[in-house]
Structure 1
Amino acid sequence: MRPLLYLFFLASFLSFSQSSTTVDDKASILEVLAIQEKAWNNLDVELFMETYWKSDELIFYGSSGVTKGWQNTLERYKKSYPTKEHFGKLHLTSNEITKIDNGIYSVFGEYHLTRTVGNTKGIFMLVLKNIDGAWKIIADTSCKTE
């Protein structure tokens, strides 16, 4: 009887540990989105890009096609949003965060950009990976819906 009781407590502990790790991961991922939103609204595209994996393997799929690599993605943002009026005010909404594997999550959400050159909104799907203790976007698919 004692071994069964021990196994029950061990299984409960492991289940709780995994569950609280997932909660902690999701909170950390929401922090990444908060950093992005704040950086964007402060016109700081470099800080915004610090949330992305600084690698040639970073993939960004957008309305203008595929951009590969961190530097190319930075240049794409600078070209697409050349002025304060183009930046506008960003609001991100996370609709679902799902664990894919240990240290890898997908995030589905929406973005709303309020700006004097015309408002726009869309949807996104991010893949984030914990790299050296920090959550980084390794793939980004963003699509305008309006």
Structure 2
Amino acid sequence: MKQVFAFLLLCLFAQSAWSQKSVKPELVAKDRREILQILKRQTEDWNNGRVDKFMNGYWPSDSLTFIGKVGITYGYQATLANYRKRYPNRDSMGTLKFDILQLDFPAPNLAYVIGRFHLKRPNIGDAEGHFTLLWRKIKNRWVIISDHSS
């Protein structure tokens, strides 16, 4: 049993070291810029009332997960429908601002973002909270595969 445990521990350390060393610094910088650019574009799309374009940052798949105050939503279309229902007009959408607190690459083609959002909505009250985003590079394009916002 000790040998199995030692082997599993060794595999864990080897995978961690591999994932950190196998991602070249210049690629990390490029990927970081791409993700930050997508988040910037999402902010602009939201602030212009374009929920459909805002959703371009998400994985267009039934496997997308969105976790919010009301629970888990599965799938791109269901997530879009929830956004449309919760934010039916420009006043409800307000003006969005993201603050990125952490952006890490735990493995090649995988990114993890922690941030804060703020919606300035003068007519109905502001909203704010934190989010975690799990990103994957699929077909050479970064997309959000899981969003937990609260």
TM-score (norm 2): 0.83
Q: How many residues align?
A: 128
In the alignment, what sits opposite 1:49?
A: 55
Following superposition, the deviation at residue 131 of structure 1 comes to: 1.0
Whether 1:65 aligns to 2:92 is no
Q: Does 1:132 align with 2:139?
A: yes
**Normalising by the residue count of structure 1, what TM-score does the alignment of the two structures yield?**
0.85
Cα offset, 1:125, TM superposition = 0.2
Aligned to 2:129: 122
Deviation of the 1:37 alpha carbon: 0.2
Q: Kindly provide the CA deviation profile for residues 2-57 of structure 1, in whole angstroms up to 9, marking residues without a partner as x.
A: xxxxxxxxxxxxx7x81111111111110111011000000000000111000000
Question: Residue 76 of structure 1 corresponds to which residue in structure 2?
Answer: 82
Q: Report the Cα distance in structure 1 between the residues aligned to 2:42 and 2:68, rounded to whole angstroms.
A: 17
1:90 aligns with 2:96: yes
In structure 1, C-alpha distance between the alignment counterparts of 2:26 and 2:99, rounded to whole Å: 23
2:105 to 88, 99, 124: 99
Which runs of no fewer than 5 residues in structure 1 stay unpaired? 1-14
Distance 1:100 1:44 in 2: 32
Taking the aligned partners of 2:73 and 2:92, their CA distance within structure 1 comes to 20
Q: Could you say which residue in structure 1 is the equivalent of 2:117?
A: 111
Structure 2, unpaired ranges of 5+: 1-20
Match of residue 11 from structure 1? none
Letter in 2 for 1:23: A
Structure 2 Cα separation of the partners of residues 73 and 100 of structure 1: 26
Identical positions, percent: 35
Q: Give the letter aligned to residue 35 of structure 1.
A: R
Question: Which residue type is aligned with residue 26 of structure 1?
Answer: R
State the secondary structure of the residue aligned to 1:28: helix
Q: Which runs of 4+ in 1 moved over 6 A?
A: none
